[in-house]
Amino acid sequence: MISNSREDILKRIRIGLHRLAIVRGGNEYISKASSSYKETQQKLEIIRRNMIEKKSFLLDMFMNEVTKVNGNVFIVKSEDEIKHYVTRLVEEHDAKSLAIWESGFLKQINLREFLEIKGLGFVSPYSKEQMAEADIGITEGDFCIAETGTIVLITNERQPRSISLIPPVHIAIVKSDEIIENSKDLFFLLANTVGESGSLKNLTSCITFITGPSRTGDIELSITLGVHGPKELHIIIYDS
Amino acid sequence: MENIKLSFEKDSAIALKNIKLQRALNKAIDQFRNVRWRAVREFQDWEQLRVSARRIKEWTIDHLDGYLEMLEANVINAGGNVHWASDANEACEIILDIAQKHKVKSVVKSKSMATEEIELNHSFEGAGIKVVETDLGEYIIQLANERPSHIIAPAIHKTKDDISKLFVEKLNTPYFNEPEDLTKIAREKLRNEFLNADMGVSGVNFSVAETGTIVIVENEGNARLTTTVPRIHVALMGIEKVIPRFEDLPIFLNILIRSATGQKMSTYVSLITGPKRNSDLDGPEEFHLVIMDNGRSKILSNEETRESLYCIRCGACLYICPVYKKVGGHSYGWVYQGPIGAIITPQLLGIDKASDLPFASSLCGACKDVCPVKINIPRVLLELRARVINDKRVGARFLLRIAVKLWRFTMENTSFYNLALRLSYILQKPWIRHGRLVSLPFPFSRWTKKRDFPAISKIPFRKQWKEIKDLEF
Ligand code: SF4
């Protein structure tokens, strides 16, 4: 079956717009809207400076918003405290089997090895059947949005998506200098940081925004947590 | 789809008598209105945001062919496949074809109005492929074999008792009456479906031409599971869903989410660009994007109604509409309800199949005020009404013209107007019940069959006004 639908649809649109040929509004609009290289760099600079200078303000706002959407937040000052807090959560949930990202910071603090010594098992996201058995998933936030209490996770070969999705409990470790004020600044940053994983020039297969645990209001509008995704979200903020 | 003929008049009369539905609607709608109001008020530049969103939509639709080509190129560039469907049948064929080529036995679906529009589930079932809705509301609706009654909250018309009984009957579970327990049952049942499914079908909230990214907004996580766990991911979008730039997304996420549920941000937002990369540990091996017209290019070709395509399906106009609040979603007869349904259904299905719908409005304009992309719904409704009337028989048109002429004459002649008013005041007496006019004789029965009318007052407003004015000012 050979279908001409592509051409048909484009032609119908063109005729509907009273045009004879395609007008690539696309690029024109894009370049008109984006500013010059220098302006972009300046704007990036401002956003980055804000992240540092307004850190404690953003931190408060972020924690406040996470709590509002039924997430748990916890500030820690050292790597040991991270391990301590994770251990506490593991014990509270009587967890046997975990899944964890092999990402930069988590590797650096050897969280997996630490937990393995404690006798915990790890499953691989390669197998969805195994993942379905995991009690807790541990990830690392790439960015946070203060205004909405959101963590942003960028999928790549070390950061699979199902670890923040399938286990009933999700622990995300974030750093306090990754908090951005609002989504507008975040998208600007993502769109203009060349070469970094997740940026526009190098978009990975998925970027996920997570704001609180999975929820539904589909039965008489009463909010129920954990309908499909994790029922609990714990965010550990590392503020060194 | 061809033999649909909707009857808002008949269906709404039934809904008005359904006390349980009235109660469910009242509760849900009041709650929604409050939450949304807060989310909008909280945002400083809401007006500015609406203006920006509207501008981007106008620009995109005016250059739609170019942006669709750009989107296609970038999806392919990211390793995905793109298919084009002129109508509902072709869209179903394409998706079924992908399923059959891969010997798919079972499919999981996340909520998507576009797939409702093409009745994709029928196609799958006809081909012997199991298909499961995974959004909790949609799952309930699928078990009950009904149609969603709201584009955001599909099961808004059902009570927890209804749902408990449904689960007992269809899933053989004990009777639980708490949302918490019911949700847990659904989670367990659906988990197995996710693990066994070969293919996931999702909708698209926005797609970004510049990057080939599709964006899905949700609270439950079922869309994430649908697009992560099965081997194949198919996403279906109408041609109007595309936006130009990645940087436009915060604008649209803000207006969509705040208008739809009153949240600042939904629980999950997924930005999906192509299938899993070779080095990724999970995610679908194949990604297919189906771009569907199904009547949309026809809407676009008429400048009077083109703005109907700017709709982002937030559902805000439903909550705000006094007619929707009384008659509920099912009265609109098809997948889109409320004010947006009243303008989009007749245009997509053909005006002859839904000729009641443009009249299912009091033209109060609340929808226009609330719409985040500023669609002038009342104006579009008037345009569609004109089309319905123009299609009518000559006789009917003649009568209508006489009636309007008479109306105009009355309004232009003060003494005749006063006389008519006095006369009506006297003549109305036998039909007054509690100060309202009910079941008037023909031709006024056309009005009172569905609704009453306040009785004409003894003292005309002009006189009343004089007194009020002196009192107050
Ligand atoms: S018409 Fe406007 S208010 Fe109604 S669903 Fe569409 S975008 Fe929302």
Picking from A227, A232, A233 by the largest number of B CB atoms within 10 A of its own CB, the best residue to mutate is: A227
**CB-based contact A58:A47 (threshold 8 Å):** no
Question: How do residues B84-98 score in pLDDT, each as one tens digit?
Answer: 999 999 999 999 999
DSSP states along B68-87: HHHHHHHHHHTT-EEEEESS
Residue A106 in this model has a pLDDT that exceeds 90: yes
Q: Rounded to whole angstroms, how far apart are CA atoms B228 and A206?
A: 10
Question: Is there a contact between A161 and B155 if contact means CB atoms under 8 Å apart?
Answer: no
Indicate the DSSP class of residue B347. H
pLDDT above 80: residue A84 = yes
Give me the pLDDT at residue B91, please. 97
CA dihedral B390, B394, B395, B398 (to 10 degrees): 70
Tell me the C-alpha distance between B424 and A213, whole Å.
62
Question: Which residue from A8, A125, A224 is facing B281, i.e. has the nearest CB?
Answer: A125
| CB atoms closer than 10 angstroms to residue B405 | 10
| Host H or E run for residue B53 | helix B46-62
Is the pLDDT at B130 greater than 80? The verdict is yes
Q: How confident is the model at residue B459 (pLDDT cuts 50, 70, 90)?
A: confident
In whole angstroms, how far apart are CA B77 and each of A30, B70, B253, B272?
19, 10, 25, 13
pLDDT in the model for residue A31: 45
| pLDDT at B2 (0 to 100) | 46
**Beta strands at B106-109 and A150-154: parallel, antiparallel or unpaired:** unpaired
Cis status of the peptide bond prior to A230, with omega within 30 of 0: no
Query: Which residues, listed in sequence order, are joined to residue B217 by a DSSP beta bridge?
Result: B269
Which pLDDT value is given to residue A34? Answer: 54
Residue A1 has pLDDT above 80, yes or no: no
Give me the residue spans of the domains in chain B: 1-42+315-391, 46-155+199-294, 428-472
What is the model's pLDDT at position B248? 94
Tell me the average pLDDT across B289-304.
95
pLDDT of residue A198: 54
pLDDT of B17 > 90? The answer is no
B66/A22 touch (CB, cutoff 8 Å), yes or no: yes
How much is the pLDDT for A196? 58
Task: Report the alpha-carbon angle B328-B330-B333, nearest 5.
Answer: 130
In this prediction, residues B370-377 reach a mean pLDDT of: 96
* Contact between B329 and B156 (Cβ < 8 Å): yes
Nearest CA in chain A to B71: A26
d(CA A189, CA A192): 5
pLDDT for B467 beyond 90: no
Any idea which of A152-166, A200-214, B363-377 has the lowest mean pLDDT? A200-214
What would be the CATH architecture of the domain defined by B46-155+199-294?
Answer: 3-Layer(aba) Sandwich (3.40)
| Residue of B375, B376, B381 to mutate, ligand 1, most atoms within 8 A of C-beta | B375
C-beta B368 within 6 A of ligand 1: no
CB < 8 Å to A212, chain B: 267
Residue type, A106: L
DSSP string, B140-169: HHHHHT---SSSS-TTTT--HHHHHHHHHH
Separation in Å, CA A76 to CA A60, A175, A236, B220, B321: 14, 10, 7, 29, 49
Average pLDDT over residues B73-80: 95
Q: Do B183 and A13 touch (CB under 8 A)?
A: no
| Of B243, B296, B295, residue with least CA distance to B271 | B243
Amino acid in position B200? G
Partners of B135 in the β-ladder? none
**SS3 breakdown of chain B: % helix, strand, coil, rounded to 5?**
55, 10, 30
Give the one of B86, B163, B221 whose C-beta lies nearest to A165's C-beta: B221
Nearest to A214 among B59, B221, B246 (CB): B221
pTM for this one? 0.90
Number of CB atoms found within 10 A of residue A69's CB: 20
Yes or no, beta carbons of A220 and B279 under 8 Å apart:
no
Q: For residue B399, what pLDDT is reported?
A: 82
Question: Residues B201, B236: contact at Cβ < 8 Å?
Answer: yes
Q: Considering only the C-alpha atoms of chain A, give the largest distance between any 2 of them, rounded to a whole number of Å.
A: 70
Contacting residues of B for A126, CB less than 8 Å apart: 281-282
The predicted structure's pLDDT at residue A29: 53
Share of chain B above pLDDT 90, in %: 60
Residue B242: the pLDDT is 97
Q: Which of B290, B258, B300 is nearest to B63 (CA)?
A: B300
User: CA separation (Å) from B330 to B21, B26, B261, B333?
Assistant: 11, 15, 21, 5
| Per-residue model confidence as pLDDT tens digits over B134-148 | 999 999 999 998 887
Domains belonging to chain A, first-starting first, are 39-238 (3.40.50.10420)
Residue B335 CB contacts under 8 Å (≥ 6 apart), including other chains: B113, B116, B117, B147, B148, B151, B341
Mean pLDDT computed over B380-404: 85
Task: Quote the minimal CA–CA distance from B272 to chain A in Å.
Answer: 5
Closest residue on chain A to B56 (Cα)? A29
Q: Name the E strands within chain A.
A: 72-76, 97-100, 121-122, 136-140, 143-145, 150-154, 169-175, 179-180, 206-210, 215-216, 224-225, 232-238
CA of B256 to the centre of ligand 1 (A): 9
Helix (H) or strand (E) holding B59: helix B46-62
Q: Cβ(B240)–Cβ(B71) under 8 Å?
A: no
Residue nearest to atom 7 of ligand 1 (CA): B311
Whether B317 lines ligand 1, by a CB cut-off of 6 Å, is yes
CA-closest residue to ligand 1 atom 4: B317
pLDDT for B305: 92
> CB of B315 closer than 6 A to ligand 1?
yes
Query: Between chains, do A12 and B154 touch, taking CB under 8 Å as contact?
Result: no
With CB atoms and an 8 Å threshold, state whether A23 touches B250. Answer: no
User: Residue A122: left (phi > 0), alpha (psi -120 to 50), or beta?
Assistant: beta
Distance CA A202, CA A191 (A): 10
- Residue of B124 and A40 predicted with greater confidence: B124
How confident is the prediction for chain A on average, in pLDDT? 89
Q: What is the DSSP string of A120-143?
A: -EE--TT-HHHHHH-SEEEEE-SE
Q: Please enumerate in sequence order all residues whose Cβ is within 8 A of that of A134, keeping only pairs 6 or more positions apart, or say none.
A: A97, A98, A99, A123, A163, A166, A167
State whether residue B443 is helix, strand or coil: coil
Residue A30 has pLDDT above 80, yes or no: no
Residue A28 reports pLDDT greater than 60: no
**CA dihedral defined by A126, A127, A132, A135, rounded to 10 degrees?**
-50
